[in-house]
Amino acid sequence: MVTEDVRVRLLDGSLKNHPNCLAGIYKGYNLIIKQIDTGMLFSFNASSEYDKNYEAIKTFLAQKSETEGKIQTYHAEENTIQVVLPPELETEDQIEFSNRMVDEIVEFLRRNYYNNCCSYCGKAEEPLHCFEISNEYYYICDACSHQIKESLQNAANQKSNFVLGVIGAILGSMIGCSLWLIIYKLGYIAGIAGAAMGICAMKGYGLFGKKLDRKGVIVSAIVMLIMVFLSNRLALSWEVYDALNGYGFPTSFADIFINLGDLIKELNLTSDYYTDLVVGYALTIFCSASSICEAFSYSDSTNYSMNKME
């Protein structure tokens, strides 16, 4: 991840260079350094019987963050303490700052009886190994590595229940449909509700079908597109229903919904109807595309990776 020149100057050269991280043990604590969008993420494995909620270390980091200013964020829970420092590790100053920060954190951990531990089960005194799991890095014990591997394999082998999944997707999309009607009633074209239909359909598929696989994402997207069409018709039917009743033409909502095609022509609403529909579809696709693409790539759980870093 860094040049050999930087590596040897950082933390006495105690970390090993990997393609996407630096990892190793420094003064008794396992540490991983990784570049993220906001800076350099330093992850320590540590837990303490005397500070189960990590209040002490959080207070310490909050103070550090105030006095040093260069600490972007920090986070401490579940066997892991993370600190984000500025993004560059090149100049003498930057390396010196990182070295000093890590030294101060490690010193605090040592003085407050934090143990180096497995980042998954929290057990101390087990030999730890660095694993890359779907592009994230963790120091975990052997027992946990076997357990994680098994559950990833089980997840990859699990099949979704298609019929229940489709029912779930339809039920989920109805939430978005109600939202569409409410927003339409307020006088707007409800593209954002179209995206909500897609997201709720995917959630529904996952919940009822036990797993949101690629099939599920495709079905949810189709359900979303159909529901946009139906919601738009329902919304307009509702408007026509209110208008006709307002003018004293008693009629049923079902009649209007079924005969909406003829009514649109008779009432000269053709261009309104199609404008709402096209804009509704465009907004729906615009708002939902990234969530659907993300779900699509994430749903390929056979795609997981788990490698022991040597």
Residues that bind Zn ion (CB under 5 A): 118, 120-121, 141, 144
Q: Which is nearer to Zn ion, 118 or 179 (CB)?
A: 118
Q: What strands, in cross-sheet order, belong to the sheet with 29-36?
A: 15-17, 22-26, 29-36, 39-45, 80-85, 73-77
Least CB distance to Zn ion at residue 122 (A): 7
Nearest alpha-carbon partner for 203 in 159, 161, 157, 170: 170
Angle at 198 (CA atoms; ends 194, 202), nearest 5 degrees: 165
Tell me the C-alpha distance between 200 and 197, whole Å.
5
What are the contacts of 267-271 at 24+ separation with CB within 8 A? 267/240, 269/236, 269/240
On whether the CB atoms of residues 144 and 118 are closer than 8 A, the answer is: yes
Tell me the C-alpha distance between 306 and 85, whole Å.
27
Least CB distance to Zn ion at residue 129 (A): 10
Q: Between the CA of residue 23 and those of 105, 121, 308, 309, what are the distances in Å?
A: 17, 19, 12, 9
209: Cα within 13 Å, side-chain hemisphere? 29
Least CB distance to Zn ion at residue 284 (A): 44
Q: Which is nearer to Zn ion, 146 or 159 (CB)?
A: 146
Q: Which is nearer to Zn ion, 145 or 231 (CB)?
A: 145
Least CB distance to Zn ion at residue 202 (A): 32
Q: Which is nearer to Zn ion, 61 or 144 (CB)?
A: 144
Q: Which is nearer to Zn ion, 152 or 207 (CB)?
A: 152
Least CB distance to Zn ion at residue 58 (A): 23
Least CB distance to Zn ion at residue 101 (A): 27
Element (H, E) at 211: none
Q: Which is nearer to Zn ion, 141 or 260 (CB)?
A: 141
